[in-house]
């Protein structure tokens, strides 16, 4: 009988989430390129920048990323160690839900080329919110992993 695989350390789990951030950053670069192309009223967008394909891809990546963060192996560990962070983590989870709803709305707009002129500004607002959110998460986790003495 083989020994069970060890559970990744907290550091290992946080590192996996950071790798998700790197992958998400690549998609967000394409989202920014899409916004620039839309602002420039580019008639034909390359397939990798088509809003009706790119926004559902972003939604899928964000959902997977948020599920990983909200798991017992990530936020759950933080809450087990510092229950005082319950309210902050609940706020972050609520933001996850709100951002997914926003992406759903944008993806719906993207199905109608006549609405593409509205997408750039709305999508940039979402990206700014996501970046602010990620900074909040990073700050919370830095405080968790490096508690003051």
Q: Which pTM value belongs to this model?
A: 0.82
- CA distance linking residue 42 with residue 83, whole number of Å: 50
Q: Return the higher-pLDDT residue of 125 and 138.
A: 125
Between 83 and 143, the more confident residue is 83
Is it the case that residue 6 has pLDDT exceeding 50? no
Q: So what's the pLDDT on residue 61?
A: 93
Question: What radius of gyration, in Å, describes the C-alpha atoms of the chain?
Answer: 18
Residue 15 burial (10 A CB sphere; 0-12, 13-18, 19+): exposed
Q: Backbone phi, then psi, for 121, in 5-degree steps?
A: -65, -45
pLDDT in tens, 34-84: 999 999 988 788 999 999 999 999 999 999 999 988 988 888 888 998 899
């Amino acid at each position: 009988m083989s020994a069970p695989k060890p559970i990744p350390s907290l550091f290992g789990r946080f590192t996996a989430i950071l790798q998700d951030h790197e992958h998400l950053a690549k998609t967000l670069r394409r989202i920014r390129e899409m916004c620039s192309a839309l602002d420039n009223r580019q008639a034909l967008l390359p397939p990798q920048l088509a809003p009706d394909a790119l926004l559902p891809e972003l939604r899928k990546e964000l959902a997977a990323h948020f599920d990983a963060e909200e798991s017992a192996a990530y936020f759950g560990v933080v809450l087990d160690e510092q229950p005082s962070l319950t309210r902050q983590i609940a706020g972050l989870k609520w933001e996850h839900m709100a951002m997914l709803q926003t992406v759903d709305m944008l993806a719906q707009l993207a199905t109608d080329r006549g609405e593409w002129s509205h997408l750039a500004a709305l999508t940039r607002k979402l990206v700014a919110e996501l970046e602010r959110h990620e900074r909040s998460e990073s700050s919370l986790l830095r405080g968790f992993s490096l508690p003051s003495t």
